[in-house]
A = this chain, B = another copy of it.
Amino acid sequence: MRREITVLTETELRAALPLDMGAVEVVEAAFAALAEGRVIMPPIMSMELPQLNAEVDAKTAYIAGFDIFALKVSTGFFDNAAKGLPSLGGMVTALSASDGAVRAVFLDNGYLTDLRTAAAGAVAVRHLAPAEVTTAGVIGTGLQARLQIRAARLVRPFGRVLVWGRNPHKAALCAADLARDLEIEVEVCTSVREVVRRSQLVVTTTPSFAPLIEADWLHPELHITAMGSDAPDKVELAPACLRRADLYVADSAAQVALRGELRSALASGDWTGAPPVELGQVVTGAHPGRRDPRDITIADLTGTGAQDTAIAAHALAVLAGQGTVIRT
């Protein structure tokens, strides 16, 4: 069977596939499909390599109506930094949903993951944040701190950003990058509490092992997206935050119970109710999002294979005709 398979590199993907509303909308469609039961998504395959200080994950998801499904491998080799190499890597394969044939290989080194993770942040902000956001805060100073703010600004055109990071030097660098890229006012704050107090929208983007935001800091007219925790030992919000919110929304109810903010709230007994509403239910209108400007809302994002399939389908559509074609 002769076939053509397209290989696209990180460079090609970065050049043609920006963080824009196209990316946000395809990821939003994936959340809608999740809520409507049109997604088949097995549990993540995880391989811990303690002797290498490394971890390898594989995710896949089939979304009815998409003509491909993605299989993604993500690598974290945490001794790489000392060698001057990036710690995170990986690639994505797109396979035909009609016959299983490999359609494309994205040698993206995690770029598609960055994009779909930021796009999910925009979906949460679009449906949950107050209509009027003048100040947005970000906790953390890494790549997702920058991308989440850029993504949020696609759906809420705020004019001021507050940044907090453990390392003041990195916070200053992140603030400078955001100010230059978005041409808006960006300020470094010296406490998380100040960021929360002055913002209508806060995104937490850290790999923290201890809560950074206390429940009594939450105030009316606030949305928080907690996207840093993606593993069973991470947490960014004090467990009491979840029930303090008027609405707490998960990307995947099953996954946040294992890897998101819900995990610690279940462990502490701060969450005893039904499983949380899913973002896709809000996207489709099956569950209301923000009901009142003064509501407090929280979105808990851990990352789903459905997002990977969505962004891979988007990449394949946008980059049609590009890349290296391999004939088998």
Let me know if A62 is at the binding interface, CB within 8 A.
yes
Q: Report the minimum CB–CB distance from A28 to chain B (whole Å).
A: 23
Residues in B with CB closer than 8 Å to A98 are 52, 77
* B54 and A86 within 8 A (CB): no
Contact residues, A59-79 vs B (CB, 8 A): 60-62, 64, 69, 71, 73, 75-77
Interchain CB contact (< 8 A) of A89 among B46, B49, B54, B102 = B102
Residues in B with CB closer than 8 Å to A5 are 107
Residues in B with CB closer than 8 Å to A45 are 42-45, 58, 60
User: How many copies of this chain does one complex carry?
Assistant: 2
* A102 and B91 within 8 A (CB): yes
The segment from A6-14, A171-179, A214-222, A262-270 found at the interface with B is: A6-14
Interface bin, chain A: 35 or more
Q: Report the minimum CB–CB distance from A172 to chain B (whole Å).
A: 25
Which residue of chain B has its CB nearest to the CB of A83? Answer: B99
Which residue of chain B has its CB nearest to the CB of A47? Answer: B42
Interface residues of A (CB under 8 A from B): 1, 5, 7, 9-11, 40-49, 51-52, 54, 56, 58, 60-62, 64, 69, 71, 73, 75-77, 80, 83, 85-86, 89-91, 93, 95, 97-102, 105, 107, 109, 324, 326-328
Contacts A52-B98, A71-B73, A83-B99 aside, 9 further interface pairs with beta carbons under 8 A come to A7-B324, A40-B47, A43-B45, A45-B60, A56-B60, A56-B100, A73-B93, A75-B101, A90-B100
